[in-house]
A and B are shown apart, each in its own frame.
Chain A
Amino acid sequence: MNLQRNLKIFTLAALGIVSTIVWLAVRSTSVQAANESVRSAEKQRIEVVAKVRPSVVAIYARGGQGGGSGVLIDKEGYALTNFHVVQGSGPIMQCGLADGVLYDAVLVGLDKVGDVALIKLLPKADGKLFPFAALGNSDEVREGDWSLAMGNPFLLATDFTPTVTYGLISGVHRYQYPEGTLLEYTDCIQIDTSINPGNSGGPLFNVKGELIGINGRGSFDKRRRINSGVGYAISINQIKNFLGHLHGGLDTDHATLGARVESLSDEILRLSVKEVLDDADVSRRGLQVADELIAFAGRPLTTVNEFKNVLGVFPKDWRLPLVYRHENQRKEVLVRLMGVQPKEVKEDGAEAPKPGPRPAPGQRPPAPLPDSPAKKLYKEKAGFANYHFNELHQSRVWTAFTKHGDFSKTKGNWIFEGELQLKAQSRHAVLTIQEKKGDDGNLQTHALLDIRDVSTYPVEPLKPGLGNDERQSPPGSGGFVIAMYHFRRFLTEGIKGFERNPAYGGVEPFYPYPVDGSLPKTLKDLRVDADVIRTEHGGVAGKWYFDRTQQRLLGFEAFVEEKGDPCELYFADYRAVDGRMLPHRIEVRYGNDRFGVFTVKRYQTTAN
C-alpha cells in the first residue's frame, strides 16, 4: 500500500520532472528558433539591400538646384522617377549611382497625371551595361508586408550612396485625390516606411528586393512636409501599363470612362451610373444612366474609390472590357477610354486652353539646354516628352515590319479580289485602288469596292469636301473603303507617307476576334498587347497595331468620323504574295457589330 503510494508519488514526481525538462527543452528550442529566425531575417534583409543598392539613382538638376531619387529598371540605363522630380530639373539631368559615379541623363517619357517619368542614363563607355532592379507584381503586395524604401532623402548623400528605410505596407489599392489639377495617385501603396523630401521617385522594394512601387507622396495636413507615418508609392503594375508609352517618348495621359458614378445603397456595395458624357465611347457602347457597373478590366467595381482606382491605372485611349447591368441584362463591352487632361492645342485653335495666371504644370519658361552629351538624345516636339525616343521606336517597328515584305516598289494600282461575307450573305467582291493623273495634272486617287449583286462603292479619299456617306462607305462599315486605301498607303509609303503627326503610340491592348466567328467567354481572353503606330492622312486618323514579337500587322483602326467609332480591320491568315506577306482574311467591325469578313483570294499589286 505504502509502496504503491510511494510509487505513485514517484511516478508523479518523475512525470513532473520530465514534463519540466520537456517544457524547458521546448522553450529553449522556441527561443533558439526565434533567435534564429530573427537572425536569418536580418541576414536576408542585408543581402537584399546589398543586391538592390546599385540600382538606386540619385537625381540632380544640372546646377544642383533640387533633385530626387530614381531606380534603374534595365541594363540599358532606363530609370523610373517622379514627374515632379524631372519637372524641377528639365529634360537634361545628372544622376549619381551607389558606385559614386555621376552620369549624364535625359528625359525619355512622362506621365504627368500619374507622377511618373522615365529617364535614361548614358553609360560612361559605349555598350557598358547598368545594374537594375527586377520589377515585382504589386497586386501581390498585402497590408502588413514589410517593405524597403531607398533613395536620397534631404539630398544628404554627396557620394550618391542611397539611404535605406524599412517599414510596413499600411494599405494597398489606395486612392489619393489629385494635388492641384494633376498628380492623382490611384491604386497606390500606402507605407509607414519613412520617406522624406528627396526620396521622391525612389524605389519601394518588397523583402525579396523586387521593385513594387515608386515613392512619391505623403499625407501631411498640419504637419511639415516630412515623414508623417503616411507615405504613398505608385504601384509598379500601374507603371507597367504606361511603360510602352514612356519608352516611346510620349507625354501620356490617364483615362476616364466618361461616366460619373455613385454608391447605390448603404447595405450592399454597388455602383450606379449617374451621368454619361455624350461623346464618350462608353455612351456608344450602350451604357445609360442608372445602369449598374460590375467590373472593369477584370476588377470588380464596388465603391467610388475603387472605380477611380481601377480606371486610374490605364492610359488614355486604351480599350478595356467593361461589365455592366442594364435592366437586369448583363453586358460586356470593350470601351475606349477618354483622356483626363484638357485636349492639346489644335491647329485651328478651337480647343486652345485659356491662358491661366500661372504656367500649367510641366510648362516651364524655355531655358537653354545645358551643355551635356545627353543633349543629342533630346528632341523637343509638342505633345511629346522627348521625340527622339519616339523616332527610335517608329523606326524599330517599321524596320521589323518590313521584314515581312517590302512594298515600296509596288506603288501602282492594287486589286483585292475575294469573298465578302456580310451578315446574311456571302458575295464576290473586288476592291480596286488606283492613282492616276487628273485633267489638271494632279494625282487623283480612286478606290472602288464592287460587291457583286449588291452595289458598287466608289470613293475618292482625298477629294476636298468629301461627304460623310462616301467617307463611311459602304454603309454599316464605318469606312471600309477608305480604311483599305490607308492600308495600301501604309504598306507602300510607310509611316512617312502620312503627312500629319506620324508617331509611335506606345503599347496598347488589341482584341482580335476568333477567326471561326465564335464569341469569346470574356473579352479579356482576346487581349494581345501591341505596338501602336499613329498616322493621319486625308483627314483620317489611324492606329496600326503590331504584335510585339514579330511586328506583324494585327489590325488597323481608321477614325473616319472625328467623334465616333472607327472602322476596325483585323488582319489574319498571312500568306506570301510574290514573296511578300499579306493578310488573306480581313475582318471589318464597326461600333458594336461585325460588318463582314473579306476573304482575299487574289492580290494584284503593281509597280508604278
Chain B
Amino acid sequence: MRWLFVWAISFLLTVSAMAQSPFGKVAQDVNRKLVKLYGSGGYRGLPAYGTGILVSSRGHILTVANHILDTQDLRVHVYDGRRFRAKVVVIEPEFDAALLKIDTGTPEGDKELDLEFFDIAKAAQSPLAQSGDWVLAFSNQFQIATRDEPMTVQRGTIASYTRLHGRRGIFEASFTREVYVTDAIMCNPGAAGGALTTRKGELLGIVGKELRNTLSETWINYAVPVQSKAEFTEDGKSVVRSLADFVDLGMQEKWKPTVREKPKDGPGGYHGIVLVPNVVERTPPFVDGVRPDSPAQKAGLQPDDLIVYVDGEPIGSIKQFIDFIAKTHPGLTIKLEVRRGDKLMTVDLKLDEIPKRK
C-alpha cells in the first residue's frame, strides 16, 4: 500500500507539474529533432523555406517532396543554430517524401553531428492515432524562426484519417493516400515537413503541404502518417513497402524511387483575352479587349476589367497570367475573379483549342 501511496503522490506531482508548463518540455525535446530548411522558392507564392525531421544522428532528414529541394544550394539550420549544406538523397513520390542528408563532407564530420532524432521504424510500429486524439504540430511555418530559435508549436485534434483530395493551383495533388486531417491550422507556408506528434512528443506524421480541398476550396491541414505503406513493383513483382522502409533503405542508399512522368506544362488553352501592352515588369493584367466568339467574349469579359485571381491564385502581373495559362489545356475551366469598376466579379472561362491561323 505504501508504494501505491508514493506512486499516487508522484502521479499527482506530475499532473501538477504538467499544469504549470504543459508542453514546454515536450516542445523543447521535439524541437531538437527538427531542422529548418532553406532552398528554392520565393516565386508564385511558393516559400523558399521548409521544415524537416531528423531521422539519424548523422544528419539524415525526412521531409515532404517539395519545390524547395529543387536547388543545388540546400541549407539546413539545426536546433542549436549551426548551419549546414544538405543534399537530397532520394525522393519517393508514392509517399510524397524526401530523404536528405546534412553534408559535412566526411564520415568523421557526420559522426560529430551527434544529433537527436526520431526513430521512424519504432514510431511506425505504434497504432494509428484516432479521430479526437490530441496532437501537437511543430514546424517553421512563415519562417518565423531562424538559427537557434525554436519551431512553432500548435495544438489540435485529429479530425479524421482519410484519403487526401487536394490541389495546388490548377494541378490535382498527385499524392492521394490516407492522411491525418487536423483542426489545427498547421499547413501554412513552410510548415511542410514538420512533425505531428502526440501530446507526449511521439511522432505521428509529417506535416503536409499547402493544398486546397478539391471539393470545398478550403485549405487542408493534413499530415502523412509514419505508418504509411504503398505498393511497389520490384523485378516484376508487387511488394508493399512502408515509409520506414523508405527511410531505412534510403539511408543505405538502396531505395529505388518510383519514376513518374512529370506533369508537363499544358499547351495552353485559348481564352481570347487581349491584355494591355506588357510595358513594365509588373504590368497589371488589364483586359484591353476580347476576340469575337472567344471564351472570354462568351464569359462576358470587357475592356478595363482587371484580372485579380485565377483559380484562387493571386495574379499580379501579365507575366503571371501568361505563366498560368501556359500550364492549362483546352477543355479546362478556369475561374477568373476580375475587378470591374468598384465591383469584384467571378467568371468561369472554358478554354478552347487555340484557333489555327487563317
Contacts and interface: CB of A to CB of B under 8 A. Distances in A.
Contacts of B26: 144
Contacts of B219: 223
Interface string B1-39: 000100110011001100101111111000000000000
Contacts, number: 118
B129 to A, nearest CB: 18
Given A30-B11, A222-B210, A229-B185, A303 B149 contact: yes
A303 B146 contact: yes
A11 B218 CA distance: 63
A182 to B, nearest CB: 20
Contacts of A413: none
B24 A144 contact: yes
A37 B19 contact: yes
Interface in B59-87: 81-84
Interface in B143-165: 144-155
Contacts of A34: 15
B98 interface: no
Contacts of A221: 45, 142, 188-189
- Looking at A22, A26, A144, the one whose CB has the most chain B CB atoms below 10 A away is A144
B314 interface: yes
B141 interface: yes
B147 A269 contact: yes
Nearest to B142: A219
A303 B148 contact: yes
B189 A222 contact: yes
B151 to A, nearest CB: 8
Interface stretch (A170-178, A501-509, A560-568): A170-178
Given A168-B155, A221-B189, A229-B185, A33 B24 contact: no
A189 to B, nearest CB: 12
Nearest to B5: A29
B47 to A, nearest CB: 8
Interface string A283-314: 00000000000000000001111100000000
A222 B186 CA distance: 14
B308 to A, nearest CB: 14
A37 B186 CA distance: 28
B34 to A, nearest CB: 13
B11 A229 contact: no
A167 interface: yes
A304 B11 CA distance: 43
A229 B221 CA distance: 11
A306 B153 CA distance: 19
B121 interface: no
Contacts of B148: 269, 302-303
Contacts of A170: 152-154
B265 to A, nearest CB: 22
B184 interface: yes
A171 B144 contact: yes
B150 A230 contact: no
B21 A145 contact: yes
Interface centre among A25, A30, A219, A304 (most CB of B within 10 A): A219
A263 interface: yes
A144 B153 contact: yes
Contacts of A304: 146
Interface in A1-44: 22, 25-26, 29-30, 33-34, 37, 41
Contacts of B144: 171, 174, 176, 190, 219, 230
A146 B21 CA distance: 8
Contacts of B186: 229
A227 interface: yes
B22 A269 contact: no
Interface in A121-178: 142-146, 167-168, 170-171, 173-174, 176
B15 A229 contact: no
A172 to B, nearest CB: 8
A144 to B, nearest CB: 3
B24 A145 contact: yes
Q: How large is the interface on A (under 10, 10 to 19, 20 to 34, 35 or more residues)?
A: 35 or more
Contacts of A145: 21-24
Contacts of B81: 269, 302-303
Contacts of B155: 167-168, 192
A219 B188 CA distance: 9
Contacts of A174: 144-145, 149
A228 interface: yes
Given A33-B15, A145-B24, A229-B188, A26 B146 contact: no
Contacts of B19: 37, 41, 207
A395 B21 CA distance: 46
B11 A230 contact: no
B104 to A, nearest CB: 11
A142 B21 contact: yes
B38 to A, nearest CB: 13
Contacts of A302: 81, 147-148
A267 interface: yes
Interface string A216-238: 00010111000111100000000
Contacts of B149: 171, 173-174, 303, 305-306
A41 to B, nearest CB: 6
A229 B184 contact: yes
Nearest to B183: A229
Contacts of A230: 141-142, 144, 152, 185, 188
A303 B152 CA distance: 18
A26 B7 contact: yes
Contacts of B24: 142-145
B115 to A, nearest CB: 14
A227 B11 contact: no
A169 to B, nearest CB: 8
A168 B11 contact: no
A327 interface: no
Contacts of B22: 144-146
A278 interface: no
Enumerate the 10 nearest inter-chain pairs by beta-carbon distance, A residue then B residue, closest first: A229-B185, A144-B23, A144-B24, A266-B83, A192-B154, A219-B142, A144-B27, A269-B81, A142-B24, A37-B15
28 contacts: A22-B4, A26-B8, A34-B15, A37-B15, A143-B150, A144-B21, A144-B27, A145-B24, A168-B154, A171-B144, A171-B145, A174-B144, A176-B144, A190-B152, A192-B185, A221-B188, A222-B210, A223-B219, A227-B185, A229-B154, A230-B185, A266-B82, A266-B83, A266-B84, A303-B81, A303-B148, A303-B149, A305-B146
Given A29-B11, A192-B154, A305-B147, 5 more contacts: A143-B23, A144-B22, A146-B22, A168-B155, A263-B147
Interface of B: 4, 7-8, 11-12, 15-16, 19, 21-27, 45, 81-84, 141-142, 144-155, 184-186, 188-189, 210, 219, 314
Interface of A: 22, 25-26, 29-30, 33-34, 37, 41, 142-146, 167-168, 170-171, 173-174, 176, 190, 192, 207, 219, 221-223, 227-230, 263, 266-267, 269, 302-306
